[in-house]
Structure 1
Amino acid sequence: MHLKSEYQNKLVLAEEAVQVIESGDWIDYGFGLTGPYELDKALARRKDELFNVNIRNTLGLWPHFSIDSDPTGEHFTLNTWHFSSAAREFYSKGLAYYIPMKFNELPMLTRNDCIPARVFMASVSPMDNHGFFSFGVGAAGNMASIENAEYVILEVNENIPRVLGGNQENIHISQVNFVVEGPNPELLTLPATEPSETDKKIAQNIIHKLYDGCCIQLGIGGIPSAVGNLVAQSDLKDLGVHTEMYVDAYIKMTKAGKITGLRKSIDKYKQVFSFALGSQELYEFIDDNPGVAAYSVDYTNNPYIISQIDDFVSINACIEVDLFGQVSSETVGTRHISGTGGQVDFVEGAYRSKNGQSFICMPSTYKTSNQVTSRIKPILAHGTVVTGTRSATHMIVTEYGIANMKGKSTWERAEALINISHPSFRDELIKEASAMKIWRKSNKIK
């Protein structure tokens, strides 16, 4: 069948497409910016007809019309692999639940372990001349869901860039049951994060550890932004990119001529990522750009793949660390904040890379209700989920320096961590470490 004819034959209104959904169904939504918009609106309008419909997504960035329509949770329940701000709000109301995972395993979990979603719905770029729609801003695990689904429904959004890729970043019209032409909502943009003075100090500690030819993975927030600023102003050259999330810091480094990918061991010259989130400039930059490549997350976050890239540098953030070197990046006590994400993947992969370095960053303190609290604690708060085990943690960074955990005994770890804690808390941390039998008289404080 001619591609345009096939497209027209599958083109329906959103209200018609969601009629295939039945009570008790599981529905998978596209990752991040590839989540459905008009389709979710149409699903919300069917609320009174449906019961116990489970929606499963990862980092849902569009409005959740269906969950908003059902404050009782009788009709729709959100199950998510990674909390967004909206998911946190639903969680507090008992309408959303977290699915633990290591990000690199998302496609495998979807294919082998989850209840298969009967319906998959996602937003995509317009179809190209070859019959393909792009998932490139959210290629992480969509194809795994599609392989299990009975119905695949796509919502075309002209604002979604067509991103080239390495695998599973697009879908062909022949794999689709219905196409909906939505209202083309503008993509969510993240305002530029202005690094704080503390962020800049942390970034300065890291920049001294970088050298020509490093391959960099950055997370989101002020610290990665500060690192990007410093790299752009530095004499570094021939840096590479292999990351889960593509952020604006990479554009800044690229425009400064710092990123070439010349020395990458694999995917040479390509900036590799699994999903993108940032400014409108970022979306325009990755659109039809052969210098970037979107891959499924079982490639970008696979520790085995990461370990094959020499001189790999992973830079991520956390909430708090205890004196044993355990890292929490997803909860505050039992209050859920985000998710494991890819932090564990990159910590493990970077350390196994030849000359690899993994940095977990945080300001030494945080302030709530006019009270300053140390992020380095004797033990993690009651109920806190451990994201990075003490045996996996490589380097912890604050504005006061870097603490290398590898090969260190418990008393050496305590010494290193207390030395990068805020000076106001060091005496109390030493007292606690002594009570925990992880402090020696020979320990030194700078």
Structure 2
Amino acid sequence: MSLQDQYRSKRITAREAARMVKSGDWIEYGFCLAAPRAFDAALAERCDDLTDVHIRAGVSVYPSLAFESDPTGERFTWNSWHFSGLDRRYASQGSAFYIPMRFRELPRYVLENQPTDVFVTQAAPMDRYGFFNFGVSNSHHYGLIARAKKIIIEVNEHFPRVHGGHGHGIHIDQVDHIIEGDNLPLAELPPASVSDVDKAIATQVLAKMHDGDCVQLGIGGMPNALGRMIAESDLKDLGGHTEMIADSFVDMFQAGRMNGLRKAIDRGRIAFTFALGTKRLYDFLDENPFVASYPVDYTNATEVAGSIDNLVTINNAVEVDLFGQVCAESSGTRQISGTGGQLDFVIAAYRSKGGRSFICLSSTYRDKAGNIKSRILPTITPGGIITDTRATTMYVVTEYGMFNCKGQSTWQRAEGLIGIAHPQFREELISKAEAMGIWRRSNKR
């Protein structure tokens, strides 16, 4: 049978695909931008026919019509590997839940721990060799392909074809059904606005960077600011090895700052596992030999990323305590985002020869009542999740300075972290440090 004959024999409508779902099934949507659109809409139409259907997704960018068709949560339960703003909204309704994970381990979770009845993901149209390219999302898809009882591809002509790496596509022989989707444009996440605080923090990090460094950037205003500043700097021969690729990498490449020529692995290429940005980024990824899509257990493996000399990782935090513990994913018990790959890259950077890890946060924020609160705290807010343990934290950076926690005792950490807190809160923090027994009498005030 020819490839086209196979394609025709496996082609079904979204409604036909949704009719295959049974009560009690576990459905996995493609990660982030790869989540299905036509299938989800068809599943919503079946709301009254189903009960106890579990949907797993991650970094949701498209509203789920299926989930939103069931406001009571009796039909569909939403489970997310990493919260976006949309996932937070769903969680506030009471029937959406976070799945704790270390991102590099996710393929193993779906291979060993989580049943999957249906895996449905968007992909680029089949090529002449019979492959569907996952484009903007590789993540843990190979594990789902190995484990899922049914594999459904929803074709989207807007998906870029992205080089690998590996795990960046699936052959028609492994596909059970094909939906010719609605070909909707990919969701876009414009670069975050950059504040004066972001610029102040990014300036300090930039001063610690050198020619030939390999860069990982998290999401947010500060990493975006740093990417722009690197593009405008005189740094050269930078590499890229990251979890999420964003528009800032396009800036660095097009400015001639990033060529990857000094990397020990994936030389001359940016390795990444998923993308989220603007159409400019998606166009940049299309058929570009400079980028390489890999599963997350490659990009985020500490032994892989850590084998790259001079790995520089830059990530955000919600709060840091005087022991050097980092909470980057919750506000008390309220889940904001997720562990993701932050811990992976914090560890990898220190494993790297010449590597540096930066946890960046503004010194303060305003609460709902407009009161100024410190992000440097005596201890993490009760219920807050420790994303990076105190033993793994390296540089912590605010607009007031930078402190390297590595090798520092508890009193040195207290002194150093108070020194980069907002001046308004330093005396209070000293008092709390004294009460906790981590302040030397000879310490500076």
Structure 2: gaps (5+ residues): none
C-alpha separation between the residues in 2 aligned to 1:296 and 1:65? Answer: 28
One-letter code of the match for 2:228?
A: N
One-letter code of the match for 2:432?
A: E
1:194 positional shift = 2.6
Aligned counterpart, 2:17: 17
C-alpha separation between the residues in 1 aligned to 2:444 and 2:267? Answer: 45
Q: SS of the residue aligned with 2:189?
A: coil
One-letter code of the match for 2:105?
A: E
1:407 positional shift = 0.5
Q: SS of the residue aligned with 2:424?
A: helix
C-alpha separation between the residues in 1 aligned to 2:198 and 2:23? Answer: 48
Partner deviation per Cα, 1:368-413 (whole Å, 9 max, x = no partner): 2221111000111111111111111111111111111110100000
Aligned counterpart, 2:413: 413
C-alpha separation between the residues in 2 aligned to 1:337 and 1:296? Answer: 24
Aligned pairs for 1:169-248 (under 5 A) are: 169-248=168-247
C-alpha separation between the residues in 1 aligned to 2:371 and 2:129? Answer: 59
Misfit runs of 4+, over 3 Å: none
One-letter code of the match for 2:7?
A: Y
C-alpha separation between the residues in 2 aligned to 1:179 and 1:252? Answer: 36
Q: SS of the residue aligned with 2:19?
A: helix
Could you state the TM-score of these two structures normalised by the residue count of structure 2?
0.99
One-letter code of the match for 1:289?
A: N
Aligned counterpart, 1:328: 327
1:192 positional shift = 2.5
C-alpha separation between the residues in 2 aligned to 1:355 and 1:223? Answer: 22
Find out whether 1:290 has 2:289 as its counterpart.
yes
C-alpha separation between the residues in 1 aligned to 2:285 and 2:29? Answer: 23
Aligned counterpart, 2:166: 167
8 Å Cα contact 1:67/1:95 also seen in 2: no
Aligned Cα RMSD in Å? 0.9
Q: SS of the residue aligned with 2:12?
A: coil
Aligned counterpart, 2:435: 435
8 Å Cα contact 1:136/1:165 also seen in 2: no
Partner deviation per Cα, 1:167-218 (whole Å, 9 max, x = no partner): 1010111111111111111111112223110000000000010001000000
C-alpha separation between the residues in 1 aligned to 2:193 and 2:93? Answer: 32
1:94 positional shift = 1.2
Aligned counterpart, 1:153: 152
One-letter code of the match for 2:402?
A: I
Find out whether 1:339 has 2:358 as its counterpart.
no
C-alpha separation between the residues in 2 aligned to 1:247 and 1:382? Answer: 33
Find out whether 1:348 has 2:328 as its counterpart.
no
One-letter code of the match for 2:377?
A: K
Partner deviation per Cα, 1:216-246 (whole Å, 9 max, x = no partner): 0001111111111211111110000000000
Could you state the TM-score of these two structures normalised by the residue count of structure 1?
0.98
Find out whether 1:382 has 2:382 as its counterpart.
yes
Moved more, 242-251 or 134-143: 134-143
8 Å Cα contact 1:30/1:57 also seen in 2: yes
C-alpha separation between the residues in 1 aligned to 2:383 and 2:361? Answer: 20
Q: SS of the residue aligned with 2:135?
A: coil
1:444 positional shift = 2.0
Partner deviation per Cα, 1:45-81 (whole Å, 9 max, x = no partner): 1111111111111112222111100111111101111
Aligned counterpart, 1:316: 315
8 Å Cα contact 1:37/1:63 also seen in 2: no
How much identity, in percent, do the aligned residues show? Answer: 52
C-alpha separation between the residues in 2 aligned to 1:376 and 1:82? Answer: 24
Partner deviation per Cα, 1:297-323 (whole Å, 9 max, x = no partner): 000000110110000000000100010
C-alpha separation between the residues in 2 aligned to 1:334 and 1:98? Answer: 11
Structure 1: gaps (5+ residues): none
C-alpha separation between the residues in 2 aligned to 1:10 and 1:110? Answer: 25
Partner deviation per Cα, 1:270-301 (whole Å, 9 max, x = no partner): 11100000011000000011110000000000
Q: SS of the residue aligned with 1:6?
A: helix
One-letter code of the match for 1:404?
A: N
8 Å Cα contact 1:330/1:339 also seen in 2: yes
Find out whether 1:81 has 2:81 as its counterpart.
yes
- State the aligned residue count: 444
1:422 positional shift = 0.7
Partner deviation per Cα, 1:127-173 (whole Å, 9 max, x = no partner): 11111111121100112111111111111111111111111010111
One-letter code of the match for 2:184?
A: P
C-alpha separation between the residues in 1 aligned to 2:170 and 2:276? Answer: 21
Q: SS of the residue aligned with 2:17?
A: helix
One-letter code of the match for 2:403?
A: A
Aligned counterpart, 2:26: 26
One-letter code of the match for 2:70?
A: D
C-alpha separation between the residues in 2 aligned to 1:388 and 1:13? Answer: 45
C-alpha separation between the residues in 2 aligned to 1:320 and 1:282? Answer: 30
1:434 positional shift = 0.7
One-letter code of the match for 2:59?
A: L
1:11 positional shift = 1.0
C-alpha separation between the residues in 1 aligned to 2:151 and 2:267? Answer: 34
One-letter code of the match for 2:310?
A: D
